[in-house]
Amino acid sequence: MKNFNSKKQNQLLNLGFTLSISLLYLMTFTHAAIGKIQSPTTPEWFIKSFQSTFLSSLPGGLGLQFGIIAYAELLLSLVFLLAILLLVVKNEIGQLFFNIGLLGSVLMFTSLSFGQRLVFNFDSSAQLFFYAAFSFILFVSNRVLQNSQSPVALEK
């Protein structure tokens, strides 16, 4: 009878898991970033939503904050793209970029959730909270998978 839990099969399953999740985040953040970056000005809906909050009085105003969100999403897209490319070539470095991307996603979704709470859009805030929590759970799960496949863990 074949052993279906071989080390090689576990590594392939982990690679498939990491690649598929990376692709999902890559598509999510790339689409969001491109939509924002292509906008010639800060959208009116963004200004209307946040003009009565303390965010509008910060240096650079709402335009700067919209740009920061757009370029942070673009940066996360690049991190997940690097993770995908490096996972195939150099798995350890690809895993590092994947973990950085997941932690960046937690920060992004948490900050977006905070913004939605500021404007009393509690449904969107709750949804973004769950995105952040899901990203954190994926991060922890991936760390557990990585540690279970380390040479030290395999010796025990």
Tell me the residue type at 155.
Answer: E
Cβ neighbours of residue 111 closer than 8 Å, sequence gap 6 or more: 69
Please give the share of the chain, as a percent, with pLDDT higher than 90. Answer: 51
Please give the share of the chain, as a percent, with pLDDT higher than 70. Answer: 92
pLDDT tens-digit series, residues 19-35: 999 999 999 999 999 99
**39 pLDDT more than 50:** yes
pLDDT at 149 (0 to 100): 64
pLDDT at 24 (0 to 100): 95
Cβ neighbours of residue 5 closer than 8 Å, sequence gap 6 or more: none
Higher pLDDT, 5 or 35: 35
pLDDT at 88 (0 to 100): 84
pLDDT tens-digit series, residues 83-97: 999 988 888 889 999
**Contact present, 79 and 100 (Cβ < 8 Å):** yes
Cα four-point dihedral sign 79, 80, 82, 83: positive
pLDDT at 127 (0 to 100): 93
